[in-house]
Amino acid sequence: MTIKGEATVVKHTGSHYLLAQLPQWNLFPAVLRGKIRLKGSNATNPVAVGDKVAFEAEVSEGVAAADVAANVTSENPAVITSVSPRRNYIIRKSTNLSRQSHIIASNLDRAFIIATIDFPEIKLPFLDRILVTCEVYNVPVTIVLNKVDLYRESHKEMLEAFHEIYEGAGYSVMEVSALTGEGVAELREACKDHVSLFSGVSGVGKSSLIKALDPSLDPRVGEISEAHVQGKHTTTFYEMYSLDSGGFIVDTPGLRGFGLVDLKKEEIALYFPEMHKASEGCRFAPCTHTHEPGCAVKEAVENGEISYERYSSYLGMLDEEGKYR
Ligand code: GDP
Ligand code: ZN
């Protein structure tokens, strides 16, 4: 007997997928039927972690769709028949000339960008580039400052300035420590009932933080196998994890190629929310907010309503525009 249902892709390895009927974590294997191609997509993976899919499964008589997991095995996997339109997604572009992109994850409720003021020292233009990427792909962001135990006292002013810059731009900023556990309960709460992306440059303590959220998870294991896979020049795979306190996270080991987006010069400011807002007052449209007279963005920078750091990242991106196209 054939049953039909809907589920979410939680893992992708080669031609095999793992599905779950979220919020249940009832994992079961699936394969693609023929070739599913999304219109206008040049992604190397037609189906990504986070995708909502329709599936069919062959089960014995009398099995309900809700009990599919117990009745589907890797010898008799479910078949993915279609992919629902994505609410949003984050892609990784290859830095070479192939122009190919890989969808890291889709249908994300939020991205948590893990960063540190120091150890390692934060690079604001790099953070701003990631924030722009999230804006482009319509994923709400929370910035998580980890390791506050190390620099809250020694970098007091920088920490205050950071809050001012990013909260001023409209982002929420959390302070946590995977080591002392400070702020971890709040982060756990923020992850509840959602699918969240965890991202951050290596060394900021992303793995430690995921482990602090749920000790049964060990993202390092995945990282090792990713390095192995990359060495063989095959695709990088991502995986969703279930937090025992509720909610689901997608870890993104490494950030190479994340933060590269094709934007036209006049589009970049649209993705700096505070500049986009201020630009309504610019005399010219479009305005690059550089040399034009009557520019409301420049005015807002001069009177301190828009931070100089953010504006400077913006100018940097204008300069680099074209580099990745
Ligand atoms: P990842 O590369 O982002 O996954 O970082 P790891 O989780 O491997 O952490 C990098 C280093 O920072 C390790 O030595 C951790 O023990 C340390 N670390 C992680 N979180 C904290 C924290 O909140 N406070 C302190 N002091 N050290 C931390
Ligand atoms: Zn302007």
Question: What is the total residue count of the chain?
Answer: 325
Nearest to 223 by CA among 130, 115, 194, 210: 210
Collect all residues with Cβ–Cβ distance below 8 Å to 27 and sequence separation of at least 6. 10, 11, 18, 19, 20, 69
Average pLDDT for residues 227-233, to the nearest whole number? 43
- Determine the 3-state secondary structure of 39 from DSSP: coil
Helix (H) or strand (E) holding 263: none
Amino acid at 289: H
d(CA 68, CA 56): 10
Q: How confident is the model at residue 69 (pLDDT cuts 50, 70, 90)?
A: confident
Of 49-53, 183-187, 201-205, the range with the lowest mean pLDDT is 201-205
Q: Which residue has the CA at smallest separation from atom 12 of ligand 1?
A: 205
On whether the CB atoms of residues 203 and 140 are closer than 8 A, the answer is: no
Residue among 144, 208, 214 to mutate when testing ligand 1 (max atoms within 8 A of CB): 208
Q: How confident is the model at residue 230 (pLDDT cuts 50, 70, 90)?
A: very low
Return the pLDDT at 276: 97
Q: Which residue has the CA at smallest separation from atom 9 of ligand 1?
A: 205
Return the pLDDT at 62: 81
Residue 200 has pLDDT above 70, yes or no: yes
> Cα of 199 to ligand 1 centre, how many Å?
14
183 lines ligand 1 (CB under 6 A): no
Residue 25 has pLDDT above 60, yes or no: yes
Tens of pLDDT, residue by residue over 275-299, are 999 999 999 999 999 999 999 999 9
Collect all residues with Cβ–Cβ distance below 8 Å to 189 and sequence separation of at least 6. none
- Determine the 3-state secondary structure of 314 from DSSP: helix
Return the pLDDT at 317: 92
158 lines ligand 1 (CB under 6 A): no
Collect all residues with Cβ–Cβ distance below 8 Å to 183 and sequence separation of at least 6. 148, 174, 175, 176, 177
- Global pTM? 0.91
Q: What is 184-214 written as a DSSP string?
A: HHHHHHHHTTSEEEEE--TTSSHHHHHHHH-
Tens of pLDDT, residue by residue over 311-323, are 999 999 998 865 5
Which region, left, alpha or beta, applies to residue 321 given φ > 0 means left and ψ of -120 to 50 means alpha?
A: beta
Nearest to 187 by CA among 173, 207, 205, 171: 173
Q: What rounded mean pLDDT belongs to the chain?
A: 88
Return the pLDDT at 306: 97
Percent of residues in the chain assigned helix, strand, coil, to nearest 5: 30, 25, 45
